[in-house]
Amino acid sequence: MAEELEPEQLNTYFALMESVSLLHHAVEQQVRAAGELSYVQFQLLARLADSPDRQLTMTALADGVVYSRSGLTHQAGLLEKAGLVTRTPSPDDQRATLVTITQAGVDRVRAILPGHIALVRDLLFAPLAARDLRTLGDTMARIRDHMRAQPPRSVSTRQRRG
């Protein structure tokens, strides 16, 4: 087992991190300009808009987007204050909070989406052939699933999700 990454691995790692950093920076600006939301807030709303009944529990909503409970509480509070979501106790589990996107929230997502899609297409997919796209999608899905399955490493903080 090599102690180092192969040069090819290192280059791949760097290219991946820089590309996504650039992409993230660009979409962050687009989302803020088109809808006055942070990217995290946009992701939360987009998720709710795509959910059955347009609602999710806090825990389900956090999954994959946010890494601390209090962070989500904070963001949900901001979205609620802006009238984009409502929070109600869950009838199924009295501990849980159901977050529901409002019509204003749906409208906000719709206002952001066309420019967002255009930007992602131009920045991320423009230089890819159809075959590259398929391969990239397969590879990233594999990596994502692998990472999701990793038990959080020994770090002091306890991770969400179980």
Partner DNA sequence: TATTGTTATACTCTATAACTATA
Partner DNA sequence: TATAGTTATAGAGTATAACAATA
Where on the chain is the footprint of DNA (CB under 7 A)? 25, 38, 40-41, 57-59, 66-78, 87, 90, 93-97, 156-157, 162
Interacting residues toward its own copies by CB under 8 A:
3-5, 8-9, 11-13, 15-26, 29-30, 32-33, 64, 67, 114-115, 117-128, 132-137, 139-148, 150, 153, 155-156, 158-159, 162
Cβ proximity of 40 and 75 under 8 Å: yes
Cβ proximity of 115 and 108 under 8 Å: no
The entry of DNA, its own copies, none that residue 41 binds, CB within 5 to 8 Å by partner kind: DNA
Question: Distance between CA 112 and CA 25 in Å, rounded?
Answer: 16
The entry of its own copies, DNA, none that residue 125 binds, CB within 5 to 8 Å by partner kind: its own copies
DSSP state of 52: G
Q: Both ends of the chain: CA-CA distance in Å?
A: 31
